[in-house]
Amino acid sequence: GIVVGATFPKIIQYCSKKAGRKLSIFSPGVGTQGGNASEVISSGTNYLIVGRTILNAKKPDDVAKELQLDSLGK
């Protein structure tokens, strides 16, 4: 797989075009570091990696659900 930071959607797009379906793209940095879940998914990442945004939340379940809905464009 390929790891590309969620704050670099243009690089994610480039890697997605080059790799096609041969490699999965993993993107850390959603939330606290500035990456936007829906933008990263639409750029071509396959997996969001979210840590502090959920771990440091007062209601981690709610934040995780919100990120999930955001990544689905809802």
Per residue in 4-60, pLDDT tens? 999 999 999 999 999 988 999 999 999 889 999 999 999 999 999 999 999 999 999
Q: Are 35 and 29 in contact (CB under 8 A)?
A: yes
For residues 22 and 1, give the distance between their C-alpha atoms in angstroms, rounded to a whole number: 8
Q: Write down the pTM of the prediction.
A: 0.86
- Report the pLDDT value the prediction gives residue 59, as an integer from 0 to 100: 97
Q: What is the CA angle 13-16-22, rounded to 5? A: 175
For residues 55 and 28, give the distance between their C-alpha atoms in angstroms, rounded to a whole number: 14
- Report the pLDDT value the prediction gives residue 72, as an integer from 0 to 100: 83
